[in-house]
Structure 1
Amino acid sequence: MKEIPSLYTWAGGQPALEKLTAVFYAKVGKDELLEPVFRHMSPEHSKHVAHFIGQVFGGSPVYTAEDQGSHARMVQHHIGKSLTETQRRRWISLLLDSADEIGLADDPEFRSALVGYLEWGSRLAVINSNTTENPINENEPMPKWGWGETGGPYQP
Structure 2
Amino acid sequence: MEKNIPTLYEWTGGDETLQRLFRLFYDKVLQDEILGPVFRTMSQDHPRHVAHFVGEVFGGPAQYTAEDKGSHAIMIAHHIGKMLDEHQRQRWIQLLLTTADEIGIPDDPEFRSSLLGYLEWGSRIAVINSQQTENPVGETEPMPRWGWGETGGPYVPK
Separation of aligned partners in 1, 2:41 and 2:34: 15
Separation of aligned partners in 2, 1:138 and 1:151: 17
Separation of aligned partners in 1, 2:153 and 2:51: 26
Partner of 1:43: 44
Contact 2:81 2:132 (8 Å CA) reproduced: yes
Partner of 1:139: 140
Separation of aligned partners in 2, 1:153 and 1:11: 24
Letter aligned with residue 13 of structure 2: G
Separation of aligned partners in 1, 2:154 and 2:15: 31
Q: Runs in 1 of length 4+ with deviation above 2 angstroms?
A: 150-156
Alignment TM-score, normalising by the size of structure 2: 0.95
> What's the secondary structure of 2:107's corresponding residue?
coil
Partner of 1:73: 74
Instruction: Structure 1 unaligned segments of length 5 or more: list them.
Output: none
Partner of 1:28: 29
Partner of 1:123: 124
Further displaced range: 6-15 or 145-154 = 145-154
Q: 1:19 to 1:132 in 2, by over 3 A?
A: same
Q: Deviations over 1:17-46 (max 9, x none)?
A: 000001100100100000010000111110
Partner of 1:103: 104
**Counterpart check, 1:148 vs 2:145:** no
Separation of aligned partners in 2, 1:69 and 1:7: 20
Instruction: Structure 2 unaligned segments of length 5 or more: list them.
Output: none
Alignment TM-score, normalising by the size of structure 1: 0.97
Letter aligned with residue 57 of structure 2: V
Give me the identity figure in percent. Answer: 67
> What's the secondary structure of 2:140's corresponding residue?
coil
Partner of 1:6: 7
Separation of aligned partners in 2, 1:126 and 1:37: 12
Letter aligned with residue 128 of structure 2: I
> What's the secondary structure of 2:9's corresponding residue?
helix
Q: 1:86 to 1:5 in 2, by over 3 A?
A: same
Separation of aligned partners in 2, 1:152 and 1:52: 16
Q: What is the CA-CA distance between 1:151 and the residue it aligns to?
A: 6.3
Q: What is the CA-CA distance between 1:152 and the residue it aligns to?
A: 7.3
Q: Deviations over 1:33-67 (max 9, x none)?
A: 00010000111110000000000000000000000
